[in-house]
Amino acid sequence: MTLGRLALVVHPARPIDAPLDTIERWASERGMDVVQVAVDRDGGRRVAPAAELAPGDLLVAVGGDGTVLAALRASLAAEVPVLGVACGSLGALTAVHAGGLADALERVRAGDWQPRRLPAIEVAAAGRESTWAINDLVLVRQGTAQLVVEVAVGDERYARLAGDGLIVATALGSTAYSMAAGGPVLMAGTPAMVCTPLAMHGGHAPPLVVPATAALSLTVHPGFGGFRAEIDGQAQPDAALAYRLSLRAGRATLVSFGPDPRALTGLRERGLILDSPRILARDARAKGS
């Protein structure tokens, strides 16, 4: 790609001096500008002149997976790719460790990279501008009163849930909060979103997989304690009482330098998916024999 500028999204607290030095030096040697895009997750940390994204920019997310999520959401309007830089362990969304950043930038400049296209959930509420969730939308109660949410697919009611709330996640987000709450794992590329109730009080409504061809409607009835809405882990300032959610394919682009990561392997390596203890005991006996 023909690079216009390097635009940064940064972690609010992690040490990032080394990758920032690499970015500044690499850009200066090539006569490129470095700017920063403000996002909710950066905590007001400023490391470069503020600017709006423009076509031709490369958005560089310096931090970890949370920083990449914020960058992906910021990238949607200008449709620019995001390069995730890990300042710590290499996560599911970061493409390179900080020490390999200069080589990664050169590869992007030379066109030696693959686009990893990700879907997003369009979150629409009456009278408000639509926003986007790369991982998930979460509605969760505040205080002691339960949150009631009516869930429908198209014009067909699924259930009226009373409990802590619910999560609606993409395939990418299905391995995060949704999985922790008992939801199913959707393999990467699955054209669907999953709706997972949180601590439903009575009744029966298992996690629901909704195809991309259908819209999910949520009508919220908060208790006296109220509720909050979170998108990709960030609280929204003005939670609505009715939402219409639609999955849109290929809305965001991650820079990748190889085949898409093997999501199930990553979950096993991090201990989030484990074999049955009986199988592990059998393996241990086999090693000791």
Among candidate residues 65, 136, 164, 232, the one labeled active-site is 65
Which two structure tokens, joined as six digits, stand for 15? 């040490």
Cβ-contact 108, 7 below 8 angstroms: no
Does the annotation count 260 as an active-site position? Answer: no
Helix/strand/coil (H/E/C) assignment for every residue in 169-205: ECCCHHHCHHHHCCCCCCCCCCCEEEEEEECCCCCCC
Any residues with CB less than 8 A from the CB of 98 and at least 6 apart, and which? 16, 18, 19, 22, 62, 85, 86, 87
* Beta strand 5-10 pairing with 33-36: parallel
3-class secondary structure per residue, 153-172: ECCEEEEEEEECEEEEECCC
Polymer length of the chain: 289
Calculate ∠ Cα 155-158-162, nearest 5°: 125
Please state, in angstroms and rounded to a whole number, the distance separating the CA atoms of residues 57 and 35. Answer: 10
Sign of CA dihedral 41, 47, 49, 53: negative
d(CA 133, CA 180): 18
88: left (phi over 0), alpha (psi -120 to 50) or beta: left
Which one-letter DSSP state was computed for residue 216? Answer: E
Question: Given the structure tokens 């002691």, which residue do they identify?
Answer: 144
Residue 33: beta bridge partners?
Answer: 5
Which residues are catalytic, by number? 65
